[in-house]
Structure 1
């Protein structure tokens, strides 16, 4: 998965099962969101922290009719409602939500959790800087190539003589949101990469990366 557009900490929920964290989730309440519904947005009245129990959320900024995805929040990810980001449910999602004041009390009671929080914040900050850099200096073709290369390097599986299979779990519209392009443009770019022999669709939401060096070269190609 694109290193600049995913915020996953699946081990967090497992940590909550450890004895030293008994009672941490007391004060959190389960909230359910249907696909497409808004979890929070700038200027909202909520001041809370939430943990993703299931599903996927998208945190993004909206400016002059354009949307810039900051992160995909999946199981185990933690986020806040009082950022400048809009958070929307990309699928049916379940969240454990607590007021910020309650969460602050939890941090004071469980100081060993501070290290986990620092890691989460560092990951998101790194994600934000990567996305800003990509949006400023790279065009959409480069951003799609970067996404696919990062997917090979982080999530690649089934390496064969033909290439590396990556399962992004994203449809064309989702991919477009990650690279800041329309669905039509994203589809055209994917077809271009297929014609060039760089990738091949393998069904569903997976690709076979056939020419990784060529795809890496496309990351630095200035063509728009």
Structure 2
């Protein structure tokens, strides 16, 4: 079962497209470029433990990846990497491609030199640490205090913000969305149908929903299990 906090909204540029990586990236040299298919690992714990000499830091230049702890058949999603995001591989977390990803990476030993030449790289690294910490704290809060109805409401509100309006396209399968909310497919379908019947949501097409009563979703999102 996967427990997940909704990812923070994308930063958008003109026309609603995801923002391009920062200008300093084009000035960095000697990076190794690689592509990763959806579902493949960009970083894994055993690399950090068994081959520390191969630890690298990388910048995601295309795609979307999630940072997770995996064990005992469960996945806890700590946060997401989007274009311009940085990550260092010597941790116990997995970084998995949600969609096709392109990264540029360097050995960790080169990081100090690169930061000295491009200070904005260091600033961005601190931003990423803060974002991941925020996601981890929100995850703990969700698991400790929020029932699945509240987690669903938070997810829908976050998606409306990310997609730029009340019309939502639900990405992935119902099973993957249910797993992401830490529930079953049947429970998720029951909750969505209930929200459609009471007018909180409307189904506008295949895998498309419209948020009709955002205020009610906000009240649901604030409800704790205690």
Shorter chain as normaliser: what TM range? 0.7 to 0.9
Q: What TM-score do you get using the length of structure 2 for normalisation? A: 0.79
Q: Cα–Cα, structure 1 residues 141 and 49, in superposed 2: closer, same or farther, change >3 Å?
A: same
- Deviation (angstroms), 1:34: 1.8
Counterpart of 2:27?
23
What number of residue pairs does the alignment pair up?
212
Please point out which of 193, 216, 219 is paired with 2:218: 216
Contact 1:35 1:90 in 2 (8 A): yes
Asked if residue 43 in structure 1 is aligned to residue 51 in structure 2, the reply is no
* SS of residue paired to 1:13: coil
Q: Does 1:202 align with 2:210?
A: no
Runs of 4+ off more than 6 Å: none
* Residues 69, 177 of structure 1: 8 Å contact kept: no
Structure 1 segments unaligned to the other structure (5+ residues): 158-163
Label 1:32 to 1:156 Cα distance change in 2 as closer, same or farther (>3 A). Answer: closer
Gaps of 5+ in 2: 12-17
8 A contact 2:178–2:184 mirrored in 1: yes
User: Hey, what's the Cα distance between the residues in 2 that align with 1:12 and 1:104?
Assistant: 24
Aligned to 1:193: 195
Would you say the 8 A contact 2:10–2:162 is kept in 1?
no
> Structure 1 length normalisation: TM-score?
0.80
SS at match of 2:189: helix
Deviation by residue 1:169-222 (Cα, 9 ceiling, x = unmatched): 454344334322344433333223222321123335542101112212222445
Tell me how far 1:50 sits from its aligned partner: 1.4
Instruction: Identify the residue that residue 137 of structure 2 maps to in structure 1.
Output: 129
Cα distance in 1 for residues equivalent to 2:26 and 2:217? 47
The CA distance in 2 between the partners of 1:22 and 1:71, in whole Å, is 25
Q: Does 1:34 align with 2:37?
A: yes
Aligned equivalent of 2:180: 178
